[in-house]
Amino acid sequence: MSSPCKIPWRHARLAFLMCMLGCLLPSAPAWAQTASPAPIRQSQDDAWWTGPMLANSAGTLPPGHFLVEPYLYDISSKHSDSYGSRTYVLYGLANRLTVGVIPVLGYNTVSTGPDSSHVGLGDWTLLAQYQLTQFHEGSWLPTISVEVQETLPTGKYDRLGDRPADGLGSGAYTTTLQLNAQTYAWLPNGRILRMRLNLSQSFSSHATLEDVSVYGTDSGFRGTAKPGSTLYAGLSWEYSLTRSWALALDLTYSHNSNTRVTGYAPEAVRLSSGSSTAFALAPAIEYSWNPNMGVLLGVRLIRGGHNSTASTAPVVALNMVF
């Protein structure tokens, strides 16, 4: 008869096996992780961006810093090519506040008449953007900002004579109110996907017209044009392939309300453009030499939509922050 203090062999063997199993269980996750290591989570400092082709950033510049980003493009449609440059010149005026100007230059070639006589000014834009919130890793709240733009009628738009292609402006003041949002997501492979959303509404004043104009009026016309309002929505995604390389994609929707032209030539003239919608797709590739300088190559494609012209616009842009 065994002593009550002595453990039978069969019980000791069971206890030993359970002890060994207990030692193995904590190490099982470490063993599995060694066999299939989890992807390394990319840090935000390891992703350099130029920004996508169309979507504005929701962030603002640090006070005292500039961003200069010239875009060169060719908007090619069935009967014309519009060559142009659009340059963002932004300055961090104060904490969370960026101001800037967007000068535009252009030159048109057309198959139905003479080309532009020279490179001319388009309508230039002034802007101010104020940042409301800041994204932080691990938080659901994106960076959000509000932006106000005022486009000035600096481009030639009427009294075009026998060169309608010289028309590069609208002749109207346009106010744009915009909401910008930006956030980040980490994909299963650990790489960063940056996403942006832009929503805007634009309103224009009347433009006084004389003779041949961008609104389709002829010589001898006297009157006004009232451009319709514009609703715009844009989404973008940027995928960080490496620290220097990124892929970008923009999807946009715009709705332009009816533009009305009234006047005399010398008989009464009433013109309406009708409303229009347009959908655009803009894939691009980004390369950055460092966090403050990079280049973007892409193409904007407008296809489909109501009362809109299909076009293809290859683009190159240089992004510089200093």
pLDDT tens digits along 122-136: 999 999 999 999 999
pLDDT at 303: 85
Residues 94, 63 contacting (CB under 8 angstroms): yes
Residues 205-234 have pLDDT tens digits of: 999 999 999 999 999 999 999 999 999 999
Q: What is the pTM of this model?
A: 0.86
- Hey, what amino acid is at 98? T
pLDDT tens digit sequence for 163-192: 999 999 999 999 999 999 999 999 999 999
Q: pLDDT value at position 9?
A: 37
The domain 53-321 belongs to what CATH superfamily? monomeric porin ompg (2.40.160.40)
pLDDT for residue 286? 98
Sheet holding 222-226, edge to edge: 207-210, 222-226, 260-264, 268-272
Segments making up each domain of the chain, as ranges: 53-321
Q: Is 189 exposed, middle or buried (0-12, 13-18, 19+ CB in 10 A)?
A: exposed
Separation of alpha carbons 45 and 248, rounded Å? 18
What percent of the chain clears pLDDT 70, i.e. is strictly above it? 89
**Digit-coded pLDDT (tens) for 32-75:** 445 567 889 999 999 999 999 999 999 999 999 999 999 999 99
Q: Is the pLDDT of residue 13 over 70?
A: no
Whether the pLDDT of residue 15 is over 90: the answer is no
Contact call for residues 155 and 121 (beta carbons, < 8 A): yes
pLDDT, average across residues 194-198: 98
Chain-wide mean pLDDT for the chain? 91
Residue 36 confidence (pLDDT): 60
pLDDT of residue 35: 53
Is a pLDDT exceeding 50 seen at residue 30? no
Q: What percent of the chain has pLDDT over 90?
A: 86
- 3-class secondary structure for the chain? CCCCCCCCHHHHHHHHHHHHHHHHHHHHHHHHHHHCCCCCCCCHHHCCCCCCCCCCCCCCCCCCCEEEEEEEEEEECCCEEEEEEEEEEEEEEECCEEEEEECEEEEEEECCCCCCCCCEECCEEEEEEEEEECCCCCCCCCEEEEEEEEEECCCCCECCCCCHHHCCCCCCCEEEEEEEEEEEEECCCCCEEEEEEEEEEEEECCEEEECCECCCCCCCCEEEEECCCEEEEEEEEEEECCCCEEEEEEEEEEEECCCEEEEECCCEEEEECCCEEEEEEEEEEEEEEECCEEEEEEEEEECCCCCCCCEEEEEEEEEEEC
Please determine, for residue 262, whether its predicted confidence score (pLDDT) is greater than 70.
yes
CB-CB neighbours of 49 under 10 Å = 19
- What sign does the CA torsion over 158, 160, 163, 167 have? negative
Please state the rounded mean pLDDT for residues 6-14.
43
- Provide mean pLDDT across the span 278-295: 97
pLDDT at position 20 = 39
Task: Please provide residue 221's backbone torsions phi and psi, each rounded to the nearest 5 degrees.
Answer: -75, 140
Q: Residue 21 — very low, low, confident or very high, per pLDDT cuts 50/70/90?
A: very low
Do the Cβ atoms of 286 and 244 come closer than 8 Å?
A: no
Q: Produce one character per residue of 94-123: b if its CB has 16 or more CB atoms within 10 Å, e if not.
A: eebbbbbebbbbbbbebeeeeebeeebebb
Per-residue pLDDT, 305: 84
Dihedral sign computed on CA atoms, order 234, 239, 242, 243: positive
Residue 313: burial class (beta carbons within 10 Å; 0-12, 13-18, 19+): buried
Judge whether residue 2 has pLDDT over 80: no
C-alpha closest to that of 165 among 209, 212, 211, 210: 212
- Residue 260 β-bridge partners: 226, 272
Cα separation of 212 and 222, whole Å? 10
